[in-house]
């Protein structure tokens, strides 16, 4: 039987970063990932890094490329009533966000782990968790060559995302689930951004988001129906609809380019409580997901493992169980704040599928309030740049 201190299931941002945080504390880990290295490095997802996320990566010496290639942003634009209303994040909070693709962070974390002499078991199958109620749980799996493994450890970190096997291993969890009556059609376009900052646009046809990944690549989203299909959306229709929803009085031209990727993602809020059972600890999307409107998913995964690493270290070194015992409750406080903020941003900006003039007026009133009240704008900005860990 193989042996390690912490078995980490899943090499997304949560699992990879936890590996680095534990290594910095002298804790050995084995990291298992169901997909191939190239698949996880190419998976296009989040792009907004909160201020505390960037600070943590810097502390660990993992932000060299992020600091070179990431795009620091000091504001975002709310576009409605055919006008831009800028929220000056830095003036309101003294902080900024950094636009840097999640897949770039994943590449950096993988490269740093391998350079440090540690490995990642890619393309594992049949992963199963055992003896979670004991001090020596086990993980079994089959590796890419077909060989079976049986690993004994002191704790397991379930960082395997929303569809992983860790959350179902928690007996009798409590689920909170909210689905929204719309989805996001996301595209990656080979064209420079049309505006230097993110634009969150509310239009009578539905929400649109102008974002970016680099000075050459733009990321754009359209609110669509959850049962919509990509086959309904030709490139020309996507550009037409983006131009309509992003239209503004004044100087703005949407730059078009080749579409490199298209996907439709349903919008959902989900929380599973507790985030711990015995020696199994959940982190990131394995325990909770948010609609992407608040740009919180990846950042919550980072916040979880920032708490999990010292908790596991104390537990394994016999320095007390208090941090491990309170891990779930402490994480969930931040999770619920992010759930609320993501819900707030989503409902403020998306059009309900059925015409509801009353809801429309409430939405516009909220947008005008955020755009004109320093108190309301500060609240949005504080949540957007990320509350301190």
Ligand X SMILES: Cc1cc2nc3c(=O)[nH]c(=O)nc-3n(C[C@H](O)[C@H](O)[C@H](O)COP(=O)(O)OP(=O)(O)OC[C@H]3O[C@@H](n4cnc5c(N)ncnc54)[C@H](O)[C@@H]3O)c2cc1C
Query: Does the active-site annotation cover 73?
Result: yes
Instruction: For ligand X, give the closer residue by CB, 27 or 40.
Output: 40
- Retrieve residue 9's tokens: 């299931």
Instruction: For ligand X, give the closer residue by CB, 154 or 160.
Output: 160
Nearest approach, Cβ of residue 131 and ligand X (Å)? 18
Separation in Å, CA 329 to CA 164, 276, 305: 22, 10, 14
Nearest approach, Cβ of residue 221 and ligand X (Å)? 8
Nearest approach, Cβ of residue 236 and ligand X (Å)? 22
Q: Which of 100, 200, 221, 327 is catalytic?
A: 200
What gap in Å lies between CA 324 and CA 249, rounded to an integer?
A: 54
Nearest approach, Cβ of residue 84 and ligand X (Å)? 20
Say how many CA atoms lie within 13 Å of 97 toward its Cβ.
29
- Retrieve residue 202's tokens: 């509310």
Sheet holding 2-3, edge to edge: 2-3, 148-152, 138-142, 125-130
Instruction: For ligand X, give the closer residue by CB, 178 or 317.
Output: 178
Rg (C-alpha) for the chain, rounded Å, is 21
Point out which residues bind ligand X (CB under 6 A).
9-15, 32-35, 40, 45-48, 102, 124, 127, 159-161, 164-165, 186, 265, 284-285, 292, 295-299, 301
Query: Does the active-site annotation cover 296?
Result: yes
Instruction: For ligand X, give the closer residue by CB, 103 or 363.
Output: 103
Query: Does the active-site annotation cover 292?
Result: yes
Residues with Cβ within 8 Å of 338's Cβ and at least 6 positions away in sequence, in order, are: 290, 294, 296, 299, 300, 383
Beta bridge partners of 223: 184
Beta bridge partners of 77: 86, 199
Q: Which of 296, 306, 327, 350 is catalytic?
A: 296
Q: Which of 292, 306, 327, 350 is catalytic?
A: 292
Instruction: For ligand X, give the closer residue by CB, 261 or 356.
Output: 261
Nearest approach, Cβ of residue 102 and ligand X (Å)? 5
Q: Which of 13, 51, 52, 73 is catalytic?
A: 73
Instruction: For ligand X, give the closer residue by CB, 297 or 351.
Output: 297
Nearest approach, Cβ of residue 73 and ligand X (Å)? 13
- Burial state string for 239-268 with b = 16 or more CB within 10 A and e = fewer than 16: bebbebbbebeeeeebebbebeeeebeebe
Contact at 8 Å (CB) between 124 and 142?
yes
Instruction: For ligand X, give the closer residue by CB, 246 or 301.
Output: 301
Nearest approach, Cβ of residue 306 and ligand X (Å)? 13
Q: Report the catalytic residues.
A: 73, 200, 292, 296, 384
């Amino acid at each position: 039987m193989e042996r390690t201190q912490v078995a980490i299931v899943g090499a997304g941002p949560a699992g990879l970063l936890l590996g680095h945080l534990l290594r910095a504390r002298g804790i050995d880990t084995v990291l298992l990932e169901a997909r191939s290295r190239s698949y996880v490095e190419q998976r296009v997802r989040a792009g907004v890094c909160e201020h505390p996320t960037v600070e943590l990566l810097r502390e660990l010496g993992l932000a060299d490329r992020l600091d070179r290639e990431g795009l620091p942003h000091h504001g975002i634009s709310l576009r409605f009533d055919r006008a831009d209303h800028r929220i000056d994040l830095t003036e309101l909070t003294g902080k900024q966000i950094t636009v840097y693709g999640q897949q770039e962070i994943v590449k950096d974390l993988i490269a740093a782990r391998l350079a440090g002499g540690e490995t990642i078991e890619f393309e594992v199958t049949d992963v199963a968790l055992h003896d979670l109620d004991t001090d020596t749980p086990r993980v079994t799996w089959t590796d890419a060559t077909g060989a079976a493994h049986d690993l004994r450890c002191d704790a397991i970190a379930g960082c395997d995302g929303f569809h992983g096997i860790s959350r179902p291993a928690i007996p009798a969890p409590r689920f909170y689930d909210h689905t929204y009556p719309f989805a996001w059609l996301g595209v990656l376009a080979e064209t420079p951004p049309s505006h230097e900052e993110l634009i969150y646009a509310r239009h009578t046809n539905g929400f649109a988001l102008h974002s970016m990944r680099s000075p050459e690549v733009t990321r754009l989203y359209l609110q669509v129906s959850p049962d919509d299909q990509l086959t309904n959306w030709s490139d020309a229709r996507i550009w037409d609809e983006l131009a309509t929803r992003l239209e503004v009085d004044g100087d703005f031209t949407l730059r078009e380019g080749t579409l490199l990727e298209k996907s439709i993602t349903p919008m959902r809020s989900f929380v599973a409580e507790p985030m711990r059972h015995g020696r199994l600890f959940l982190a990131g999307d394995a325990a909770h997901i948010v609609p992407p409107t608040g740009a919180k998913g990846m950042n919550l995964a980072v916040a979880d493992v920032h708490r999990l690493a010292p908790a596991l270290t104390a537990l394994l070194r016999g320095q007390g169980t208090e941090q491990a015992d309170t891990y779930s409750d402490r994480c969930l406080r931040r999770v619920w704040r992010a759930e609320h903020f993501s819900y707030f941003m989503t409902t403020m900006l998306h059009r309900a599928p059925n015409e509801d003039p009353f809801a429309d007026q409430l939405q516009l009133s909220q947008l005008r309030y955020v755009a004109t009240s320093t108190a309301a704008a500060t609240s949005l900005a504080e949540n957007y740049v990320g509350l301190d860990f």
